[in-house]
Amino acid sequence: MGLDHGQWNEQEHEIVHRIRKRVIEVVGRNMELYGVTLSTGHLYGLLFFADKPMTLDEMGREMQMSKTSMSTGVRTLLDLKMVNKVWEKGSRKDLYEVEYDWYQTFTDYFANEWRSAVESNLQVLRRAVKEIERLLGSEDTSEFARGVLERDLEKIRQAEKYYRWLDRLIDAMEDGEIFDLVPREP
Amino acid sequence: MGLDHGQWNEQEHEIVHRIRKRVIEVVGRNMELYGVTLSTGHLYGLLFFADKPMTLDEMGREMQMSKTSMSTGVRTLLDLKMVNKVWEKGSRKDLYEVEYDWYQTFTDYFANEWRSAVESNLQVLRRAVKEIERLLGSEDTSEFARGVLERDLEKIRQAEKYYRWLDRLIDAMEDGEIFDLVPREP
DNA sequence: AACTTTGTACAGTTTTTACTGTACGTACTT
DNA sequence: AAGTACGTACAGTAAAAACTGTACAAAGTT
């Protein structure tokens, strides 16, 4: 697990390895909530315990997986801002380490993933509202169609309200207001 | 799309169908954030516009999919509390309709999915902390191992803090406190 | 009690996703 | 300029997930 075997005995190494493995396992598993693969979650766990930034080759060795997989895994985590690329002079390999500010990770996740979902939804909903309103205003629309359209419109309006709320919630996460309501531990 | 063709002309039906389809498409797509399949997302969209609770057979007909798929899809949505089972006397089929309170849906999602993730993580982390503390207290642990263990312990403690925060955030969602910070629209 | 209808378990198939190995472009070294 | 090391694009393969059809248990009807 990337630990120097020279300076301690095999038994101690085993114990640390076992503890880490269990933590990595559960952290990795629950990362599926962020929509990442189990193995990408494990990669994250590996980086979490690494005492220094790691290269793709090192990750591949530890994970017993191809460098290609490490490359794609790391990129996923970069997109989620869960790991950072680190520069170290002298090395021309790319180095990566986890973002240890998990509050930041959490709020970034919403700012990235949820925001774009909310925006695209709102856009489509607004367009649908417009179109329905146009139809309701038209002479040619039958009474029966009016009924259907009005019910749809009401539903869509409700959905819009919800998405606007979600948008504001994401704002509150992005600008840290959320920590007024639910404070961090010191 | 489950609409009675008798009472309006084909053209009107086409228009409504097109509008709904676009909304269903985007709602369904973004439901992948909740970890559900695209087709389950579409099923949700279908139910969203349905003017009455639907049976599995009706869903299958509309979605052009097997009843088995509808059964599993609906169950997924039930687990997420995104649809409700509805009773209607006279019918011995199960009927389902969407939960229109999307605020509720959102907070339930966190209360269900995220809560269990947080709890399992905390449990494992606490256990790891205990074990590390025991090792640090032992005479047999080498200096080098102490260094490693102390660094791990610090990381795990940070993680614990974060999860406790998340736990409180989920509390705030569950009991509606979140709406004090980010109010619903009237 | 025999017959229907309904929902789902299960096995098999198709589709999608994850993963690997090779091949190559870029950039640094000599 | 030739050589080397690095990351990733791409194509192929392995693994996983989604979906279907059949079969059957449970509950209702005749």
pLDDT tens digits along B38-87: 999 999 999 999 999 999 999 999 999 999 999 999 999 999 999 999 99
Torsion sign over Cα B99, B103, B109, B115: negative
Whether A92 CB is under 7 Å from strand C: yes
Q: Is residue B4 pLDDT above 70, yes or no? A: no
C-alpha–C-alpha distance, residues B184 and B95, integer Å: 30
Has residue A78 been placed in a domain?
yes
Examine the domain organization and report whether B16 and B54 are in the same domain: yes
Number of compact structural domains in chain B: 2
CB contact under 8 A, A169 and B184: no
Where do the H-state alpha helices sit in A31-142?
38-49, 56-63, 67-79, 102-109, 115-137
Q: Which of A55, A77, A98 is the last residue of a domain?
A: A98
B176 membership: H or E segment, kind and range: none
Examine the domain organization and report whether B26 and B90 are in the same domain: yes
Examine the domain organization and report whether A63 and A120 are in the same domain: no
User: Does B35 lie at the interface with A, CB-CB under 8 angstroms?
Assistant: yes
Q: Is residue A172 pLDDT above 90, yes or no? A: yes
**What is the pLDDT averaged over residues B146-175?**
97
Per-residue pLDDT at A79: 97
User: Does A47 lie at the interface with B, CB-CB under 8 angstroms?
Assistant: no
Examine the domain organization and report whether B120 and B153 are in the same domain: yes
The CATH number that applies at residue A51 is 1.10.10.10
Q: Is residue A1 pLDDT above 90, yes or no? A: no
Examine the domain organization and report whether A60 and A109 are in the same domain: no
Examine the domain organization and report whether B91 and B14 are in the same domain: yes
Examine the domain organization and report whether B13 and B93 are in the same domain: yes
Examine the domain organization and report whether A33 and A86 are in the same domain: yes
As a dihedral over the C-alpha atoms of residue A113, residue A22, residue A50, residue A114, rounded to 10 degrees, the angle is 0
Q: Is residue B15 pLDDT above 90, yes or no? A: yes
Give the pLDDT band (50/70/90) at residue A186.
confident
Over residues A56-90, the pLDDT tens digits come to 999 999 999 999 999 999 999 999 999 999 988 88
Q: Is residue B147 pLDDT above 80, yes or no? A: yes
Q: Do B128 and A23 touch, CB atoms closer than 8 A?
A: yes
Mean pLDDT computed over every residue of chain A: 95
Has residue A109 been placed in a domain?
yes
User: Does B111 lie at the interface with A, CB-CB under 8 angstroms?
Assistant: no
Q: Is residue B19 pLDDT above 90, yes or no? A: yes
Q: Is residue B6 pLDDT above 80, yes or no? A: no
Examine the domain organization and report whether B83 and B120 are in the same domain: no
Q: Which of A46, A78, A98 is the last residue of a domain?
A: A98
Please name the nucleotide lying closest to A35, CA to C1': C17
Examine the domain organization and report whether A17 and A80 are in the same domain: yes
Which residue's CA is nearest to the C1' of nucleotide C7? B71
Examine the domain organization and report whether A135 and A154 are in the same domain: yes
Enumerate the nucleotides of strand D whose atoms come under 7 Å of any protein CB.
5-10, 17-22, 27-29
Interface test with A, best of B9, B10, B12, B103 (most A CBs within 10 A): B12
Q: Token pair for residue B113?
A: 């999915």
Please work out, in degrees rounded to the nearest 5, the angle formed at the alpha carbon of residue B149 by the alpha carbons of B148 and B152: 90
Q: Which of A72, A98, A124 is the last residue of a domain?
A: A98
CB contact under 8 A, A168 and B182: yes
Per-residue pLDDT at A6: 63
Q: Is residue A141 pLDDT above 90, yes or no? A: yes
**Closest Cα of chain B to A176: distance in Å?**
12
User: Does A113 lie at the interface with B, CB-CB under 8 angstroms?
Assistant: yes
Per-residue pLDDT at B7: 79
Domain that holds residue B59: 5-98
Has residue B186 been placed in a domain?
no
